[in-house]
C-alpha cells in the first residue's frame, strides 16, 4: 500500500540533523555537538507555573488562538523588545512550537506552483513543507555574501510566481544576522510587491552585541510580513512546545482556520507556563545569552586558531566552519571526525546542497564539553594536515 502514499511525502527524507544525531548513539564516548537545544533547564518559576496549572485543573481546551492572557503577554513582549505592535485579539496565534507555526503559515499562503525564495544553506524543515504544499523552493546561494540573503539577490530571483521570501535570521545553521541597513535594502525591494515575507525569528533573543531588528518594523512591511517566534530558544522550553505566529488580521484570520483544524489549540498547561515566561521571565534569556556569547567566543577562537575558515556568528548558537581545504565532502568529513576523533557535528549538506563543504557545530553545551570537543577536533585537524 505504500505506493498510495502521497508522493511528496514519500520523497521527503528524514532531517540530516536527526540522521547524524541518531548515528551518534553507536559512539557512546563521542562528544555531542549536533543538536540546537539549550543545555539550560527551564527556569524554575516557569516550571512552577506549569505545575500550578496542573494542580488547578487548567487542563482543558483553550481558545484556538490561545489563552487571552497569553496573547496579551506575547504581543506585549514583542512591543517591549522589538517595538512591534500587534492586536492580541486578532493578530497572534499560539502554536505548538515555531515548527507548527511555519507549517500552518505556509499551508495558508502557498498554492500549487508558488515559488518561495530561501537562503542556502538554511534550516532543513522549510523545504519539505513547501513541497507538500505543491510549491517550489528557490534557493539563493549565500556562501559569497557571508550567508546573508541580500536585496540584490532577492530582486534577481523574483518571478511572477514568487509568493514568499523567507528571512530566517538569526540563522540556523550559520548564526549570521541581517543588519538594519541590510533589512532596509530588502524592504525597499519588497514593500511595493505583492509578496509575503515569512520572518523566522525564533533566535531573536540570542543576538550578541546589538538588538534584534525585525523586517516587520520597516515602513510598508508589517502588512505583508508573518513573524514566527516562540519560547524554545529564549526560555529553554523546547519540550513545552510553545510558538507564536504574528500577522495582520487579514492574514492571521486565515492562518487560524488551518491551525484550528490542525491541532485545535496548544497545550493548556504549556500556555500557562508561557504566560509566566513572557511576563515575570521577560528577561530570562539575558543570562543565557551572556553565557552563549562566552561559549561562542571560545569556540570561534579555537576554530580560527586551527586554521579553519569560519564566519563569526552574531546570533543563535552555531558555528558553520568550512572544511573544503581538507578535500572531503561534508558527509565524509563528519563521519571521519566521529569515527576517529569521537566528535559529532552535523554535515553541512543537512542544510541544502549549499551547505556542502561546511559543518555545523552547536555551542549550546557546557564549557567543559566544548573544551574537550575542541581539543579532539584540533588533534584530528593536525592529523589531517600531516596526511
**Which CATH code for domain 2-42+284-386?**
3.90.1150.10
Handedness of CA 321, 325, 331, 336 (dihedral sign): negative
Count CA atoms within 13 Å of residue 78 on its CB side.
Answer: 27
What pLDDT, on the 0 to 100 scale, is given for residue 364?
97
Q: Which CATH number fits domain 44-278: 3.40.1190.10, 3.30.9.10, 3.40.640.10, 3.40.1390.10?
A: 3.40.640.10
pLDDT in tens, the chain (387 residues): 887 888 888 887 777 777 777 778 888 899 999 988 999 999 999 999 999 999 999 999 999 999 999 999 999 999 999 999 999 999 999 999 999 999 999 999 999 999 999 999 999 999 999 999 999 999 999 999 999 999 999 999 999 999 999 999 999 999 999 999 999 999 999 999 999 999 999 999 999 999 999 999 999 999 999 999 999 999 999 999 999 999 999 999 999 999 999 999 999 999 999 999 999 999 999 999 999 999 999 999 999 999 999 999 999 999 999 999 999 999 999 999 999 999 999 999 999 999 999 999 999 999 999 999 999 999 999 988 777
What pLDDT, on the 0 to 100 scale, is given for residue 317?
98
- The domain spans of the chain are 2-42+284-386, 44-278
What pLDDT, on the 0 to 100 scale, is given for residue 9?
82
What pLDDT, on the 0 to 100 scale, is given for residue 239?
97
- Alpha-carbon distance 159 to 318, whole Å? 33
Beta strands 359-362 and 318-319 are antiparallel
Q: For residue 118, what is the enclosing H or E element?
A: strand 115-120
Residues 6+ apart with CB under 8 A from 47: 41, 273
What pLDDT, on the 0 to 100 scale, is given for residue 5?
82
C-alpha 10, offset from chain centre: 25
Tell me which DSSP letter residue 220 carries.
Answer: T
Helix spans in the chain (H): 7-10, 16-23, 44-55, 68-82, 97-109, 126-132, 151-157, 180-190, 249-263, 268-278, 285-305, 330-336, 367-386
In the block, which residue shows the cell 541597513? 181
Amino acid at each position: 500500500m505504500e505506493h498510495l502514499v502521497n508522493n511528496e511525502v514519500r520523497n521527503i527524507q528524514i532531517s540530516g540533523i536527526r540522521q547524524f544525531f541518531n548515528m551518534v548513539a553507536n559512539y557512546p564516548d563521542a562528544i555531542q555537538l549536533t543538536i540546537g537545544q539549550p543545555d539550560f533547564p527551564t527556569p524554575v518559576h516557569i516550571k512552577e507555573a506549569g505545575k500550578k496549572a496542573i494542580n488547578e485543573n487548567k487542563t482543558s481546551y483553550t481558545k484556538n488562538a490561545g489563552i487571552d492572557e497569553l496573547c496579551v503577554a506575547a504581543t506585549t513582549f514583542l512591543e517591549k523588545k522589538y517595538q512591534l505592535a500587534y492586536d492580541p485579539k486578532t493578530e497572534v496565534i499560539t502554536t505548538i512550537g515555531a515548527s507548527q507555526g511555519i507549517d500552518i503559515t505556509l499551508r495558508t499562503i502557498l498554492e500549487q506552483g508558488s515559488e518561495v525564495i530561501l537562503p542556502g544553506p538554511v534550516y532543513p524543515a522549510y523545504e519539505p513543507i513547501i513541497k507538500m504544499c505543491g510549491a517550489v523552493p528557490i534557493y539563493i546561494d549565500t556562501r559569497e555574501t557571508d550567508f546573508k540573503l541580500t536585496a540584490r539577490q532577492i530582486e534577481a530571483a523574483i518571478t511572477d510566481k514568487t509568493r514568499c521570501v523567507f528571512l530566517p535570521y538569526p540563522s540556523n545553521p550559520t548564526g549570521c544576522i541581517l543588519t538594519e541597513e541590510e533589512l532596509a535594502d530588502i524592504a525597499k525591494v519588497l514593500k511595493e510587491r505583492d509578496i509575503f515575507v515569512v520572518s523566522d525569528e525564533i533566535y531573536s533573543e540570542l543576538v550578541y552585541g546589538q538588538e534584534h531588528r525585525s523586517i516587520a518594523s520597516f515602513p510598508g512591511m508589517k502588512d505583508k510580513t508573518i513573524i514566527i517566534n516562540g519560547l524554545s530558544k529564549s526560555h529553554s522550553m523546547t519540550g513545552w512546545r510553545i510558538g507564536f505566529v504574528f500577522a495582520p488580521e487579514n492574514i492571521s484570520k486565515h492562518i487560524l482556520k488551518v491551525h484550528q483544524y490542525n491541532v485545535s489549540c496548544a497545550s493548556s498547561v504549556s500556555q500557562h507556563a508561557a504566560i509566566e515566561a513572557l511576563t515575570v521571565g521577560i528577561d530570562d534569556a539575558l543570562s543565557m545569552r551572556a553565557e552563549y556569547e562566552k561559549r561562542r567566543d571560545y569556540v570561534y577562537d579555537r576554530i580560527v586558531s586551527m586554521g579553519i575558515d569560519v564566519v563569526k556568528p552574531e546570533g543563535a548558537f552555531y558555528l558553520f566552519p568550512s572544511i573544503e581545504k581538507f578535500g572531503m565532502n561534508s558527509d565524509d568529513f563528519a563521519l571521519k571526525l566521529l569515527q576517529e576523533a569521537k566528535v559529532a557535528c552535523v554535515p553541512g549538506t543537512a542544510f541544502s546542497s549549499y551547505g556542502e563543504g561546511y559543518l555545523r557545530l552547536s555551542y549550546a553545551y557546557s564549557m567543559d564539553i566544548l573544551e574537550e570537543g575542541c581539543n579532539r577536533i584540533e588533534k584530528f585537524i593536525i592529523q589531517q594536515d600531516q596526511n
